[in-house]
Amino acid sequence: MPAPPLPHSVWIHAPFRSCGTYIWEEFRRREEYTCFYEPFHEYLAGDLLQWQKQLSEAEFNKMRHGDIAENYFKEYPLSSNGAAVGYETLFAVPETEEGPKEFRDRLQAYLQGLIQHAGNQKAVFKCCRGALRARWLSETFPSTVIGIIRDPRDQFQSYHSFSTGYFHAIHLLWTIYGAKHPLISPLARRLDFRAPSGFNDIHHLILTCQYMARALPEPVLYTVFYYWWWIQWLETLPVSNMLIDTSCEMDPATLEDKINEMNLNISVSRFYPRKYREHIMPSHEMTKIEEGVERMIARNFPDKLKIFSDHFTTKLSCLSDPVREKAKRLISTPRETELPTPDRIPVQTTLTSNILYALYTSVQDYEKRSEKMAEVIESLNQTLDLEKARFEKCETYAKSLERHRFFWKRKTKQ
């Protein structure tokens, strides 16, 4: 007997710092939806309740996610160790070495479990890590798909407003770990990024990539970012029922009308995409990098570019000028067949050829810092114990003085 068809779901494909959380939160406010935040997030492999307790108010405010009042991951069914049921850490990265059939079967079972967990409510997924799976997801699950895009320069600037380098680190992780993926390999080859051997802990590798992100110059980071900006758009636009450019001048009521045209009942109460007057790099340098990446994409993915061009002319209504300009420039880019010259993408090859060295030294540095921190904590604990002993001794001495003072008063009265 065939399995019953899965309920209809909603998928929001939104790159990091593209204002997708604002829209996802509006769905979350409605009782008819069960909203899952980033179903491929690496944090889902850990203790989610403990993570939420450790998330300080200052760290939350840095995310600028508005007034989310509840745990990001509260809708997920949890196992005994606090992790999401059915989640695997490798869901956080592009699949490369493992056979896609076995991997996708486990991934499908995990997502089906979430949809069934929603019960009579409609499941809504907000994904920052699902672009390479967008077509498979739309073919596997009956769904309405919303694509989110933002002016890449503003988005890149938003990345830089976080000192941790986390968002850059995720792009580096995807590029290194998925270097053999057909959509990633052109960038990985150009930057000499290779998957490191012996690194199976995704959290450890992300931490290492954060060290790398802080060390790499902006042209390298913007090259990686802009390549991924385009890959995510090329993959999500063809399967999207609508695409929202959050860089557009759009009031909440207009956005609400656009979404409700797809029979999705939400009420948009706020929408605050930030526009930056200045960017971390000069405009002409960013343009040079953008044109180099666009030539790379036009040369390696002509079929995808043809599909993108067809959808661009039929699906999109409201685009900001910067995004529209870049889309038209890519569509008009000649499909070159010759190999790229060294100055196509202005990246220092001597730096990128040593990326693995930076990886290993970063890990070693992290381990040394961890050992040093453990020593400091131990020393502080010893100091606290000494101070506590001194305090107790002083307290005992004070009580003794008080007794002597009491007896002395009685003696002097006699």
How many structural domains does the chain have?
Answer: 1
Q: Which domain holds residue 221?
A: 9-353
pLDDT band at 354 (very low <50, low <70, confident <90, very high): very low
What lies within 8 Å, CB to CB, of 300 at 6+ separation is 186
How far CA 143 is from CA of 11, 12, 20, 104, in Å, comes to: 7, 10, 17, 18
- DSSP readout, 93-120? S---SS-HHHHHHHHHHHHHHHHHHTTT
In a domain, 109, yes or no: yes
In a domain, 398, yes or no: no
In a domain, 66, yes or no: yes
Q: Where is average pLDDT lowest: 76-80, 84-88, 130-134, 406-410?
A: 406-410
pLDDT value, residue 107: 92
Asked if residue 351 lies in contact with residue 220, where contact means CB atoms within 8 angstroms, the answer is yes
d(CA 263, CA 248): 23
Q: Is 58 a residue whose pLDDT tops 60? A: no
In a domain, 393, yes or no: no
In a domain, 363, yes or no: no
d(CA 39, CA 27): 16
pLDDT value, residue 226: 95
Output the average pLDDT for the chain: 77
d(CA 78, CA 44): 9
Average pLDDT over residues 96-102: 62
How far CA 407 is from CA of 18, 393, 400, 413, in Å, comes to: 76, 21, 11, 10
In a domain, 276, yes or no: yes
In a domain, 188, yes or no: yes
Asked if residue 83 lies in contact with residue 47, where contact means CB atoms within 8 angstroms, the answer is yes
pLDDT band at 339 (very low <50, low <70, confident <90, very high): very low
In a domain, 358, yes or no: no
- H or E segment to which residue 342 belongs: none
What lies within 8 Å, CB to CB, of 349 at 6+ separation is 192, 342
